[in-house]
Amino acid sequence: MNPKLSYTGIRVRDLENSVQFYTRFLDMEEICRTSFPETDGESVSLRNENPGPVLELNHYRDGSRFDTKFPPGDALDHLGFKVENLDAFLLNARAAGVPQLLERKSHGVRWAYVEGPDRVWIEAVE
């Protein structure tokens, strides 16, 4: 048995706002949208490379037994993205009103965190 990570699924409060953030700001593309009547939910799968890792955004409507309350960003540390130009990425973040949380250089690698929807931290590594 040789397990490999297939995708990362996160729960979001506002599905369309999250789709817009990941597609516009992080250049991901929507590859699949699925409704789940049995959970009264919907998921959108995104990626920015083919083949490549998939980010699955999950949303459960009000009243669904799966629509449990959660503190924003709870149980998820961050999502990491490789960028070609960290300065351009951060400039774009500021222009879009995306809060920058941290920027560092460590062991010759420069990286920064910005805050996505539901306070999910996005790490950009140059």
**Domain ranges (residues) in the chain:** 1-69, 72-126
Q: Rounded mean pLDDT of 11-35?
A: 94
Is pLDDT above 70 for 88?
yes
Our CA angle for 82, 18, 31, nearest 5°, is 70
Two domains, one topology: 1-69 and 72-126: yes
Fold exhibited by the domain 1-69 = 2,3-Dihydroxybiphenyl 1,2-Dioxygenase; domain 1 (3.10.180)
Q: How far is CA 60 from CA 2, 3, 14, 109, in A?
A: 32, 28, 10, 38
pLDDT category, 68, cuts 50, 70, 90?
Answer: confident
- Would you give the DSSP letter of residue 74? T
Segment (H or E) for 17: helix 15-20
Query: Thinking of the domain 72-126, which architecture would CATH place it in?
Result: Roll (3.10)
- Would you give the DSSP letter of residue 117? G
Q: What is the pLDDT of residue 126?
A: 85
